[in-house]
Structure 1
Amino acid sequence: MQAFRAAILRFSEDRRAVYEEDGLLVVGPDAGGRQVVRAVGAYAALGPNYPGLKVTEFPGRIVAPGFIDLHIHFPQLDVIGSPADGLLPWLENYTFPHEARFADATHARELAGFFCDELLRHGVTTALAFGTSHPSSVDALLAEAQRRGLRMIAGKVLQDRHSPDGVRDDTEESLVDTEALIRRWHGVDRLGYAITPRFAPSCTDAQLRGAGELAAKYPDVWIQSHVAENRDEVAWARQLFPQARSYLAVYEGFGLMRERAIYAHCIHIDDEDRRLMKATGAAAAVSPTSNLFLGSGFFDYEGAERIGFRYGLASDVGGGTSFSPFHTMLAAYYVAREGQTKPGLSLSPQHLWWQHTAGAAQALGLDGVIGNLSPGCEADFVVIDPKATPLLARKTSIATNLDELLFALIVLGDDRAIERAFIEGRA
């Protein structure tokens, strides 16, 4: 058993933040031996219940749930900040050449360590990640995550057409490799597998059909892909799949819309698509820094809330420009003001933070497991220094309420504000 004393941030079921200025977080093993939150609340109320328990104190700091990145590309570390005219040229000129290098298992292992370092340095304790079309990319990432005790979900990309040599895979072999990776990694320690069509235009009907069959055979694995990110991509999908009502409906036709299915972007969709997301339990990974960087468009928060489907925040590195959840939350604030159907929506700081923690956990089907500091949640949390930089210290010192404090961190914070990350109670 361990206890930590600091200001504590967590979330109630109605998405509101719960904040204890002087709080206590008690961590200990559950029946299976996993380190979870045993108790949380005001120090004055909880402290007497644990006499003799050593308390680690973080004065002037905030203990908060570890951030969850709902969509990130492990192989695109070296693609961040590459100039391009838009999504499709960016893929052709930068992304695919870099991903081809992951056929080399040594290269994949080297970058896996760097990638996990960056996640933790920015306070991200869970990620849903794309590999490349090479099985070795998934083996490298999940082995590194296992070594660190990280909760990581990843998948080998499926792309058997409209892709260059070096990343294009063979239809039958890609499905055999996917099933082998599921059996090797899914459910091992804190690891999960995601069936990963890159995006519908990169996959033949046979490959998408095979992916859907694997999703039916292994109902507790995740599914991840891209949809409706860019208008040119949407037009291309309509040409390739003329029988589908929409780009999103392509995935439904192949059995790839269900709980634990995460679709990145979901920008250029309509209300029927939104109702399909809600009915199937699929969720959107909102990637605002990527969408702004590539000029793709704006996620429609008003439409998402009106229909009521699940969503959460994601960096989308390397189209996204930073691993930092603070940068992502700030970009989401900008994007909400430019929403498609009802511009001018102002997202509250509490809701922005929820999207990157408890909301992202809900999208993954892991609410009550990660993304919060409620009793029973796995003990993944970060220690935040609200005075990490001079300007941040000045701004947070004059905050008069929780929204002002959180928004100051969102606007002015970066990796320097993450003082420490804990994985299952271990620093």
Structure 2
Amino acid sequence: MNVFETLESEVRSYCRSWPTVFDKAVGSYLYGEDGRPYLDFFAGAGALNYGHNNPILKTALIDYIQRDGVTHGLDQQTVAKRDFLETFQELVLKPRELDYKIMFPGPAGANAVEAALKLARKRTGRESIINFTNAFHGMTLGALSVTGNSMKRGGAGIPLVHATPMPYDNYFDGATPDFLFFERLLNDSGSGLNEPAAVIVETVQGEGGINAARLEWLQGLSELCERHDILLIVDDVQMGCGRTGPFFSFEAAGIKPDIVCLSKSIGGYGLPMALTLFKPELDIWEPGEHNGTFRGINPAFVTSTEALRTYWADDKLEKSTLAKGEQVGRVLGELAEANTSVSMESKGRGLARGLGFETGEQASAVCKAAFERGLLMETSGPDGQVAKIMPPLTVTDDELAKGLDIVADSVRAAV
């Protein structure tokens, strides 16, 4: 381990929770260099919805590389990009009656968010963005400005401006009507609120503590934005690509955002890829006005296309994710009810789940106990008070049951 401690920056984080050196990964498992298996209930923070080294995607990738397919292509037209665009249109957009232009802003979720914010400001001529308490949208300056976490915001080193936070769903524990404060400010000429270009929201706040917004709250937000001529941006970087069941996490609410940010599992194989989707009338970019060297990683187009064809040509994965999510929710609910010495709360939707504790120390203790038992999971929330459960969507029934047994054992051991 010395080389990591002596040469790598102190900024590293996940490796501190899992002090081992990993060597192989297959399906729902990571393997240490000593051969010890670890069941993965983290899934690359949502970047590995189809598991590690998925054999179907791996075959497509190897075949593409072996035939000398283009790897780096900026925004050039390639066969791999064409296949992806046609498949995404046919299997994702058309069945959901979504009319979006597709932009490749760069390889990460923060790139997708930055492009969304820039486009909203360019289209409306306004500067202000509305974000929500406990939101997380990325680590670049624009994305940080609409992020809630004070530690991450503090790393910017400069004032993060032109964004105003509003309370997320249930922030006041149901004590006030939805959007009471937000709409009052919008309607009051003396409020001092700058007219917003857009609202950016996560339907489930992954890093913010597995906070799942009610569908009616999302519907109300969409209607409010429409009434006040504000663009609605949904950040689906972590919760998209089936994490909550449907391909997009906002589908269950029946809303159609103006702009959608995708990354993480859109690459299929864990390869870097990001999309910013927006309604055609918003496509007012000048050529090259937003670009990046790695906005066209063609191997990711290949694995993404194969993932779409394999898992999104029907609704089998969606139904499986919903059923497995309900199973996880039941187990976490039973754990919370059975333990009277420590307050716990079952949280989340689909296969984005969490067990909320009173303190970050309690959640960390559970995750530490899980690692000792061969299960990888992490904490989330402003104080790290939620033990987060996000297995690959392809996790088998036996693997899920085994992992949940470890979670239950870890809770009992830790708290």
The TM-score with structure 2 as length reference comes to 0.30
Query: Relative to total residues, which structure has the larger strand share, 1 or 2?
Result: 1
Query: Quick one: higher RCO (CA 8 Å, sep 6+), 1 or 2?
Result: 2
The normalised TM-score by structure 1 is: 0.29
